[in-house]
Structure 1
Amino acid sequence: MTSRRLLILPIRWRLTLWYAALLMAALLLFGGGLYLGLRQRLYASLDEQLQDRATAELATVRFIVRDGTPVPAPIEPDPADAELFRRVFDGNGGAVSESAHEGGEVPGDDAVTAALGGETRFSTVPVEDGESMRLLTAPIRTDGRVVGALQVGLDRDEVDGALATLLGILALAGPLVLLVAAGGGYLLAGRALAPVAAITTLAGRIDGNDLDTRLDLDLPDDELGRLARTFDAMLARIEDAFARQRRFTGDAAHELRTPLTLMRSQVDLALARPRTADDYREALRELDGDLERLTGLVATLLTLARADAGRLAPDRALFDLNYTIASIIEHYAAPVAAATISLVDASTPTPLVADEDLLTRALINLVDNALAHTPAGGSVTVGCQVEGATVRLWVADTGGGIDPEHQARVFDRFYRVDAGRARAHGGAGLGLAICKAIAEAHGGTIGLESQVGQGTRVELLLPTSH
């Protein structure tokens, strides 16, 4: 099976096949090692047995003198030891005596010549019926001279039979063990992958109407357990994103509908009966105010949409934030005088590489918000300073403050602490959301500190260069 075909299989089958392949390799190594090790040990034991028997036989060899030369005497057969084959040769390599062998004649070999040369040698020769015999041929010495050779042998049928039995057991048991283990591996793989199957089933079933569904699998803290918990956390984030998107869409539709409804009412009223030119001009002025509010709201929504898409790219340039704050305070001089509110400049020279237009917009939103919530006789402070590689920009007021339960959500879109008051001042609940988007577009952060009855302070932390 090619690697491409293997990848087509389900992961459960792939795991099972890999497990079976590794197990088969392990069984082959184990079986082969066991067979070869036992074979070597049995053959070594057979050689040791032959060595001992040859030593015992050499000790019983008798000699006779022929033509003045001692030669080995024939060995008498021992009926009690019929399994041992014995053969005696004289100094010329001729057989002096030979015991009978049930398997037929035992052929000679070159070991006799080697033994007459003083060398002891093991050899294996074939006999009838496909069997073999292990032979040991040793020199026969007297007075330090080699006068013949002794050859003893044992059939290897018992050893070969034991090895054949072992090989048969391995050949039969190996596939059975492999089959059972592969079946167990398939079941274990299925059980191990059950959370993945559950995730797949749930993911295929979820749509926008049941994002509150969770796996809630009771798994240990392993890879699959972390995967299941990560999937649940992802569903929670998606559910929250969908909920915020729905709220955003609903609030945007509501905010857009309000000025459109007012505009429609003004048009209907103006067309209800003939009017003077001054009446029409007044109606157009009112329509112009509503259009201005509508245009601003749409621009704000587009800015937030660009921020969500990562396309709110600041046009960075070097400027001094101190001058920008001074210009904004000068712009608000008349309104704050009329409202008897002090607008304090607490800025210091603050060179900054950023988008001045975006930061001006953020400051105007913050100052508008602070002035809207500061009573007569109160004060609003705008300041900035450099702190290392960071610029701190803040707007603080002495208004009524924000309750702790609202502080975590004031940067959410369309969120109003006091909806009625915000609408009275023309607010849509997007000012702080825009400020947050501008801060994040510059690689900075925005935060809020507030105490009920004492006031609120909003701070932006921005890098001096980015």
Structure 2
Amino acid sequence: MFQTLNSIRWRLQLWHMLIIVILIVTLLGGFYRYEKHVRFENLDNELALPMMQLTGHYFVPPRPGSRSKANDLTADWRIIPSDGGRLKGNEQIAERELQHLRDEGFYALCWSRSEGLLLKTPNAPDIFERPKVDRDQLRPFARTIGDRREMIYSNRKGNVIVIGCSIVSFEASLAGFRNQLIGVGVVAFISSILLGWYFNTRAMRPIHAMSKTARVIADGDLSERIDLGNESNELGQLGDTLNETFDRLEGALKRQMQVTADASHEIRTPLTIILNELSWALEKERSLEDYVDSMTTCQTTARHMRSLIESLLQLAEINSGTATLEMKSVPLDQLTSETVEILRPIADQREVKLSVETKPLKALGDATKIRQVIINLVSNAIQHTPTGSAVEVSVQQSDATQAIVVRDNGSGIDDMSIPFIFDRFYRSGKGEKKSKGSGLGLAISKAIAVAHGGDLTVVSEKDRGSVFIFTLPQAA
């Protein structure tokens, strides 16, 4: 139960229900109050109309010399008795107004301050007390008392007129209107809940698809992807982002599996050589020279295997961020020149012209690691440059970065190999033309460049040579 209520879908549904209830109660309640006010206002107007007619016809004009007008409520009212006698003029009009009041369901009562109750229509309530009215209350006002609605007039002389009617049918009509509003509210609430459930289900469908796909991927099927159809909203963008993440995860895992397989292959070869040499030496008694040759082969192969393992460990440390870099200001011109001079004998042996062009620039980095990258790049360039060609090394500046550029005139890198040139154990070429080495040099160089906050890129064309660009942040 609580687990269901903790779901996003049910939380949205409960919030939706709460908001709908508040809106329905507020809107329909406000509409009911407004309708009630309008109906009472219309009823008060109906009560006020005969009051205005009676105050103008049923009461005789004031005494001569009085400043009050005949229709003025401040006049000294004197009711004309309705005893069935002959009525003339205003009295006849007043009698008709009273009859009209009775026909319309209204009743009338009138009190004089001095004479008490002067008039009471037959349909007026039997038990009725004189309203308590403030002498300064000269404006007519309405009141509800029991099941009656009344309009009350008074003047400064203490005279009071009451026009009223029963509101039993009025209240019944208002109750019917209230019940209709409640029915409308219930229908609107149920409809909104059903629509909310439908839209919540549609809104949560992509999330369920994501969850299902994530479970499939967690079970080991990395090829599964989230299919959100034509969703172009935030959930669609999230699905695209997760699919990209899954693509990178699958690619990383495949690369990791490939690295493991390649590392196993690279280590298995020297181990096979060592085992074969030891088996050959132990198979029967050999001469001293044969033993020395066999041990020398084992030693050379073991050193190669140790170098391979050290390179893998170094690459793992750099990629995981655990490698220690002694970051300081490094003079690139001096470091590059010294490194090139170390490799010049190899270039001379292969009859490759090695040139260097430097500028007095300083970069922020670890001198030992930077030297390792330069050695990898220049030695690769010498290896892939044909006899009689040149390898050019230069130090350049671009905005806030320094760059070491190594250009060769070799066979270049084909377009299929460029995206993988910095992968571990990758060696370009095919068959006998396949690059020599372990295939870790460029991968380590790339990792060192990224760890320094720089980068290592390549621009190459088939049969036109390659240009490797090693960028580093500028020293402060």
TM-score, with length taken from structure 1: 0.88
Q: 2:467 aligns with which of 421, 446, 457?
A: 457
C-alpha deviation, 1:218, in angstroms: 1.2
The answer for the alignment partner of 1:32 in structure 2 is: 29
Single out whichever of 173-182 and 145-154 deviates more from structure 2: 145-154
Using the alignment, how far apart are the partners of 1:461 and 1:283 within structure 2? 45
* SS of residue in 1 equivalent to 2:417: helix
| Alignment deviations for residues 418-460 of structure 1 (CA, whole Å, 9 cap, x no partner) | 25457774x1111111111011011001111222222111111
The answer for the alignment partner of 1:47 in structure 2 is: 44
CA contact (8 A) 2:77 2:112 kept: no
Using the alignment, how far apart are the partners of 1:261 and 1:157 within structure 2? 110
C-alpha deviation, 1:265, in angstroms: 1.2
Matched residue type, 2:110: V
C-alpha deviation, 1:154, in angstroms: 2.3
The structure-2 alpha-carbon separation of the partners of 1:424 and 1:195, relative to structure 1 and needing over 3 Å to count, comes to: closer
The answer for the alignment partner of 1:121 in structure 2 is: 140
The answer for the alignment partner of 2:347 in structure 1 is: 336
The root-mean-square deviation of aligned C-alpha atoms, in Å, is 2.8
Using the alignment, how far apart are the partners of 1:211 and 1:298 within structure 2? 30
CA contact (8 A) 2:281 2:291 kept: yes
| Alignment deviations for residues 312-355 of structure 1 (CA, whole Å, 9 cap, x no partner) | 34212333222323332332233322221222222233333311
| Alignment deviations for residues 294-324 of structure 1 (CA, whole Å, 9 cap, x no partner) | 1111111112212221223421233322232
The answer for the alignment partner of 1:95 in structure 2 is: 117
The answer for the alignment partner of 2:70 in structure 1 is: none
CA contact (8 A) 1:118 1:146 kept: no
CA contact (8 A) 2:362 2:475 kept: no
CA contact (8 A) 1:107 1:125 kept: no
The answer for the alignment partner of 1:373 in structure 2 is: 384
Spell out structure 1 runs of 4+ moving beyond 6 A. Answer: none
Using the alignment, how far apart are the partners of 2:115 and 2:410 within structure 1? 128
CA contact (8 A) 2:343 2:375 kept: no
Matched residue type, 1:74: P
The answer for the alignment partner of 2:12 in structure 1 is: 15
Q: 2:330 aligns with which of 315, 319, 322?
A: 319
C-alpha deviation, 1:246, in angstroms: 1.2
The answer for the alignment partner of 2:394 in structure 1 is: 383
The answer for the alignment partner of 2:151 in structure 1 is: 135
- The answer to whether residue 91 in structure 2 is matched with residue 72 in structure 1 is no
- The answer to whether residue 442 in structure 2 is matched with residue 432 in structure 1 is yes
Q: Structure 2: where are the runs of 5+ without partners?
A: 64-75, 83-94
Q: 2:129 aligns with which of 86, 107, 111?
A: 107
C-alpha deviation, 1:147, in angstroms: 9.0
Q: Structure 1: where are the runs of 5+ without partners?
A: 140-144
C-alpha deviation, 1:358, in angstroms: 0.7
Matched residue type, 1:12: R
Using the alignment, how far apart are the partners of 2:62 and 2:264 within structure 1? 132
Using the alignment, how far apart are the partners of 1:387 and 1:73 within structure 2? 114
Using the alignment, how far apart are the partners of 1:173 and 1:323 within structure 2? 88
The answer for the alignment partner of 2:88 in structure 1 is: none
- The answer to whether residue 403 in structure 2 is matched with residue 392 in structure 1 is yes
- The answer to whether residue 199 in structure 2 is matched with residue 188 in structure 1 is yes
Q: 2:179 aligns with which of 164, 168, 173?
A: 168
Single out whichever of 178-187 and 244-253 deviates more from structure 2: 178-187
CA contact (8 A) 2:376 2:445 kept: yes
Matched residue type, 1:86: A
Single out whichever of 237-246 and 117-126 deviates more from structure 2: 117-126
The answer for the alignment partner of 2:233 in structure 1 is: 222
Using the alignment, how far apart are the partners of 1:42 and 1:205 within structure 2? 66
Using the alignment, how far apart are the partners of 1:436 and 1:174 within structure 2? 68
The structure-2 alpha-carbon separation of the partners of 1:65 and 1:275, relative to structure 1 and needing over 3 Å to count, comes to: closer
Percent identity, aligned pairs only, is 27
Matched residue type, 2:251: D
C-alpha deviation, 1:148, in angstroms: 4.5
CA contact (8 A) 1:392 1:459 kept: yes
Using the alignment, how far apart are the partners of 2:148 and 2:237 within structure 1? 65
Q: 2:108 aligns with which of 86, 90, 94?
A: 86
The answer for the alignment partner of 1:142 in structure 2 is: none
The answer for the alignment partner of 2:92 in structure 1 is: none
Using the alignment, how far apart are the partners of 1:423 and 1:229 within structure 2? 38
Using the alignment, how far apart are the partners of 2:225 and 2:120 within structure 1? 90
Following superposition of structure 1 onto structure 2, how do residues 248-327 of structure 1 map, counting pairs within 5 Å?
A: 248-327=259-338
* SS of residue in 2 equivalent to 1:417: coil
CA contact (8 A) 1:313 1:441 kept: no
CA contact (8 A) 2:277 2:294 kept: yes
Using the alignment, how far apart are the partners of 1:193 and 1:118 within structure 2? 65
* SS of residue in 2 equivalent to 1:405: coil
| Alignment deviations for residues 233-290 of structure 1 (CA, whole Å, 9 cap, x no partner) | 2221111111111111111111111111111111112222212333222222211211
Matched residue type, 1:94: G
CA contact (8 A) 1:446 1:461 kept: yes
CA contact (8 A) 2:329 2:362 kept: yes
CA contact (8 A) 1:319 1:352 kept: yes
Using the alignment, how far apart are the partners of 1:22 and 1:386 within structure 2? 63
Matched residue type, 2:49: D
TM-score, with length taken from structure 2: 0.86
